Structure 1
Amino acid sequence: MGLGDQIRQQLAAKALKRQLERVSDEAATPFVPSRTGLPGAGDAMFDARSRFEAMPQYQQVKIIQQMGETLRVQSPFFRVHDGIAGSTTQIGGREYLNYANYNYLGLAGDPDVAASAKSAIDRYGTSTSASRIVAGERPVQRELERELASLYEVDDCLVFVSGHATNVTVIGFLLGPGDLIVHDALAHNSILQGAQLSGAKRLSFPHNDWRALDELLERVRRDYRRVLIAIEGLYSMDGDAPELARFVEIRNRHDAFLMVDEAHSLGVLGETGKGIRERCGVASSDVDLWMGTLSKTLAGCGGFIAGCQPLIDMLRHLAPGFLYSVGLAPSLAAASLAALRRMQAEPWRVAMLRERGHQFVEEARAAGFDTGKSEGYAIVPVITGSSLKAAQWANALFDEGINVQPIFYPAVEERAARLRFFICSTHTQQQISDTVLALIRVKAR
């Protein structure tokens, strides 16, 4: 491709990006009723109100597709994997080094974990077929909850069928008008959706900036009944962690609830994988809501909240996402329970994951790559600085037998476009080094 072609592509991409920003703004703009009267028959503007293709959300999808065509970049998304995906995967009959999944400790597909799930299917079937309050409990569901509560050294725990839905329903249920939710600027979508559902006031503070949070609450805390501070144990976009003890101090000083989303930190942080509290030496009781997912370290699917008994009792009897949703499938509960026990019995998996993550960061930085704020715990971005470059690098690496996903606008700012590598304990030293060498070759091209 000549320089002129590249410049034309970049100009076209910028024009499409402006269109994407416009339709994104339109999608977020509240509807203002027309005061000009009722529509006439065949009125095109009003006909569009009942057509999906006229919705700004669909226009966003079309513009993203156009950007791929304009940049002549094949979509790296929705690739079909054959078999178990871990440090390697099979795509289209070819084996790839895989950095596009959260199988952090290599337990998804582990024979013992799979055997536990199969045994649960034989005993309980594939579904509970209704909510637990209607269809009743299965012993394995409660056993998983008890062992998670024990891990977190709290009174009790409740598991949900979706990690995303856990945050949405719990935050949406606990807070309401007159309350305040303050969250990290890089908080997961599920936290934002839960805050929106609640009807509470929502404010954000700069990423990991506990001082800014303290100043914010100093100004506004008195204006609200209840306050929830929502942070994450390990941020999935940048691979960095908060100073948890500082947030606990702020929680205590401002009489607030503190929620820590451990989706990516359980099994990853701490000497034995107990998460951010083990790493920071914080007592379990200093955090009000411990949230986590079952789909990453714990090799299943779903989410959980661990905490004091009054909290869990409220959620068990009243939280809509638990009360009105089918119960967690016994096979998934059994898989996660087996993975939890393996994590605790085999701390070498956590140590190996830490070693491989640190190796990746060190070798990538030594080769001149920008890995942002990553601390080398399972998540390592390689920032390319443009969406075009991120997509091109991802496809070039795929040609070399490496599967990694690009992240580009609007998921991140254009200048923060990146490749995002998820490390597993089952990656080898050689695989990590080979990947960095492949990045060097791709960058040189």
Structure 2
Amino acid sequence: MDARPTAATAPAERPVPRFEDLPEYRQIRMQELAGELTQIGNPFYRMHDVGAGAQTEIDGRRVANFASYDYLGANQHPAVHARVREAIDRYGISASASRLVAGERPAHRELEESLAACYGVEAAVVFVSGYLTNVTVLGTLLGPEDLVIHDEFIHNSALAGIKLSGAARRFFRHNDTAHLEELLVDFTGKFRRILVVVEGIYSMDGDVADLPRLVDLRARYGFWLMVDEAHALGVLGAGGHGTHEHFGVDPTKVDIWMGTLSKTTSSCGGYVAGSAALATVLKGSAGGFIYSVGLPPALAAGAVASLELLAAEPDRVARLRRNGHLFLDLAREAGLDTGLSEGHSVVPVLVGDSLRAVRLSNDLLAAGINVLPIIHPAVPEGQARLRFFITSEHTQEQIRETVEKTAELLGALVRDNFGLNSIDRSQIARLMTGL
């Protein structure tokens, strides 16, 4: 019997949903319209004509660059380039398959061994994407019977992984381990497992997790501890080994060290370091590893070379530390609000108003300084900021000039009361009705 609907029984046609009706689209368009009304250009997707570093080239102009993750200058280092060229000549530009199937190359093993040695743990696993690393690791290790307690400022990729896992979720106030302990008292014993997730250096604020206190709580309450080292590897500790070296903490007291390969190692991808059992589980069960193409061998080789550079030239870490502290000290002296930053690799300058932050970024570019704004919804309205990434390759002169120009241009915007309150929102609303 034919069960297909007839003309008489078929449902009436329904309109196909429009992407233009999504709230995310309307939010973006509202920001664009605000920029058009105030004649402020979009500061995002600026085209760079050279490789990332302490300087860059935009629209034919050489400018100081504070928007690069290249913390130790490995991206332009000839030894790193030579290793990448050698890998390309030998392996081509792609692993061309999942590592499980046919994508395994010696560079992958070498990188994993180097990362494990850097953290002083048994093993490591590298993934083709940093964002994917958090998503697939959390999605693999946790389930609906588990609980994740995370710092309220944790990265979006961790939130996506928690959602994928189906685990229950609670957050504690930023870097407030007393609040964390209150939650542990309430929830310990009520779930199969509890995972606590923090960042070594917080990517938006530049402060450091209280690892000694977290390790102490782990011993008392028996949870897994995961530390995102994306902005800490190559930055914290005398040798740049990260948060555990910074505090002198036994790295095996952290269950999951996670990080990205796009910062200090000037590559692309992500990693997890920890016990051999953890690595075995991830290589055998994590969908983002099993069903994803292997990290391009050339990128793995470049990351290995960057780690070798870190070990061979520890003065790069010391220069970065001096530069970060100099930027922070000068910014505070100039009256700039640097929030919670401790002067490592990330120093925000809080502006408050999103439109003012965008205008300040554009004004600074006109003055020869590239730095990007972080605006709503990435941060709450009222918490907009410029986020300065400091590297070992910035000169003291660049830092002094940048802080001076930032204070000068921001002061002018404040005096002019420039911001969202200075534009006609009703005009934006009228324009939005036509979308």
Q: TM-score, normalised by structure 1?
A: 0.89
State the shift of 1:176 in Å: 0.2
Matched, 1:280 2:247: yes
State the shift of 1:437 in Å: 1.5
Unaligned runs of 5+ in 1: 1-37
Matched, 1:224 2:191: yes
Residue pairs, 1:305-316, within 5 angstroms: 305-316=272-283
Matched, 1:250 2:201: no
Matched, 1:98 2:84: no
Q: Distance in 1 between matches of 2:61 and 2:395?
A: 19
Match of 1:126 in 2: 93
Match of 1:296 in 2: 263
Q: Distance in 2 between matches of 1:135 and 1:410?
A: 41
2:96/2:103 contact within 8 Å kept = no
Match of 1:427 in 2: 394
1:48/1:54 contact within 8 Å kept = no
Structure 1 segments, 4+ long, off by >6 Å, are none
When residues 39 and 313 of structure 1 are mapped into structure 2, their CA distance, relative to the original with a 3 A threshold, is: same
State the shift of 1:39 in Å: 6.6
2:103/2:293 contact within 8 Å kept = no
1:273/1:347 contact within 8 Å kept = yes
1:365/1:371 contact within 8 Å kept = yes
2:226/2:257 contact within 8 Å kept = yes
Instruction: Choose from 323, 326, 332 the match for 1:365.
Output: 332
Residue pairs, 1:32-431, within 5 angstroms: 40-41=12-13, 46-49=14-17, 51-431=18-398
State the shift of 1:47 in Å: 1.0
Q: Distance in 2 between matches of 1:326 and 1:138?
A: 12
Match of 1:18 in 2: none
Q: Distance in 1 between matches of 2:411 and 2:385?
A: 17
Q: Distance in 1 between matches of 2:319 and 2:42?
A: 32
SS at match of 1:108: helix
**Percent identical residues:** 52
State the shift of 1:48 in Å: 4.3
State the shift of 1:389 in Å: 1.6
Q: Distance in 1 between matches of 2:385 and 2:45?
A: 18
1:71/1:388 contact within 8 Å kept = no
Unaligned runs of 5+ in 2: 1-9, 413-435
State the shift of 1:40 in Å: 3.6
SS at match of 2:234: coil
For residues 293-313 of structure 1, give each alpha carbon's deviation from its aligned partner in whole angstroms, at most 9, with x where no partner exists.
111000110000011011100
State the shift of 1:67 in Å: 2.5
Q: Distance in 1 between matches of 2:30 and 2:411?
A: 30
Q: Distance in 2 between matches of 1:443 and 1:124?
A: 50
1:302/1:328 contact within 8 Å kept = yes
Q: Distance in 1 between matches of 2:163 and 2:116?
A: 28
When residues 58 and 39 of structure 1 are mapped into structure 2, their CA distance, relative to the original with a 3 A threshold, is: farther
State the shift of 1:62 in Å: 1.7
Name the stretch that deviates more: 413-422 or 304-313.
Answer: 413-422
SS at match of 2:267: coil
Q: TM-score, normalised by structure 2?
A: 0.91
State the shift of 1:71 in Å: 3.3
1:82/1:91 contact within 8 Å kept = yes
Matched to 1:261, the amino acid is D
Q: Distance in 1 between matches of 2:354 and 2:117?
A: 44
Q: Distance in 2 between matches of 1:438 and 1:227?
A: 47
Matched to 2:154, the amino acid is A
Match of 1:5 in 2: none
